[in-house]
Amino acid sequence: MTLDESKIRLIMELRREGIADSAVLGAIERTPREIFIPTPIKTFAYDNRALPIGAGQTISQPYVVAYMTQALKLDDRCKVLEIGTGSGYQTAILAKLARRVYTIERHKSLAEEAGERFKELDLHTISTRVGDGSKGWPEQAPFDRIIVTAASEDVPETLLEQLAVGGIMVVPIGPQDGTQHIYRFTRTEHGFEPEKLLPVRFVPLVESEVRDSA
């Protein structure tokens, strides 16, 4: 099966699994997942599973990427903060749907590789930073949307405070040795409205120094 055939199969699978947002499906269809994956495993690019990308990190399962993106309810006016650039795959999809994406990665080597991919794909609305994602990007706050691609043990209050009124944050919450769920928080004039969504398994969101994982 060619990569194009595999991509068509994946899009059909995502539809069957409940991804109904045509803009999200279109962004996934237009984003070449194979360039975000190490050469030895490129043939698995459109399998609906997570894959290793180095530095102990993974590129998320396409269904989870699609689900979290759909849960953000993006439009082309949104200013988005992403915590955990990783390979840059999720970032690239966000950039096709939002006005501006700010993305933070603590592993310098992953951030640099992702930056090269953004150039290759001619994505100019992405700002990258190497640093501790748990602190957010306060000087660019508030954000219309925030997406966290690592699991927090508790509700990440620092990130919630960087969310605009009316904004949405999607984040996995739960212990590394227990059940994690994706939560969606909507900020109102009076506080935050949480929704418990999908059970998942993510690497941890850690507060630490920058890692050069070359």
Task: Enumerate the active-site residues.
Answer: 60
- 108 is written with which tokens? 């310098």
- 148 is written with which tokens? 């966290």
Q: How far apart are CA 104 and CA 106, in angstroms?
A: 7
Q: How far apart are CA 102 and CA 15, in angstroms?
A: 28
Q: How far apart are CA 89 and CA 176, in angstroms?
A: 23
Is the previous residue joined to 138 through a cis bond, with omega within 30 degrees of 0?
Answer: no
Question: In angstroms, what CA-CA distances link 98 with 166, 182, 186, 192, 194?
Answer: 16, 21, 18, 22, 23
DSSP classification of residue 203: -
Strands 143-148 and 79-83, bridge-based pairing: parallel
Token pair 């748990």 in the structure block, residue: 134
